[in-house]
Amino acid sequence: MSLKERLTVELKEAMKSKEQLKLLVVRAVKSEIKYKEVELIREIDDNEILELIAKMIKTRKDSAEQYIKGGRSDVAEQELKEIELLSLYLPKQLTEDELKTLIASKKEELNISSPKEMGTLMKAVMAEVGQSADGKTVSKLVKELLS
């Protein structure tokens, strides 16, 4: 079952069970998919849908941080709940230890020795991990390893 089909099934289930938050989140994802397909004038595949979901999570994380800084913990809590639901669609996230091991092996493989080559290493690592790791976390670990 494709991710798109899974979203349609879960939308129906959320409607039947009257889960408002899940309904809101699934509708938002389906809406983003539709916008992207109209923009590209073609259907998008599961990998592109995962990228959209990752982008939605990042947006919500940023919003939650801003709400917390602004003293709006009630709205931030809503954003965090949405992040939880969106995360269910992404593949299992790699731990920091797994990432460190992967980054070290890529560094050796590409023979990278200076911080100037961080971009090359980041590109290789992100291609390897895909949606299984957050870019911000990978960047932090690459900087630590190269400095």
Q: What structural domains does the chain harbor?
A: 3-87 (1.10.1510.10), 96-146 (1.10.10.410)
Q: Quote the radius of gyration of the chain (alpha carbons, Å).
A: 18
What does the pLDDT average to over 70-83? 94
DSSP state of 72: -
d(CA 25, CA 83): 9
Burial of residue 49, with CB atoms counted within 10 A of its CB: 0-12 exposed, 13-18 middle, 19 or more buried:
buried
pTM of the model: 0.80
Q: Which pLDDT tens digit goes with each residue over 34-56?
A: 999 999 999 999 989 999 999 99
Predicted local distance difference test score (pLDDT) of residue 107: 87
d(CA 51, CA 36): 11
* pLDDT classification of 147: cutoffs 50, 70, 90: confident
Asked whether the CA dihedral 51, 57, 117, 142 is positive or negative, the reply is negative
* pLDDT classification of 145: cutoffs 50, 70, 90: confident
Which residue type sits at 110? Answer: L
As a whole number of Å, the end-to-end CA separation of the chain is 44
The mean pLDDT of the chain is 91
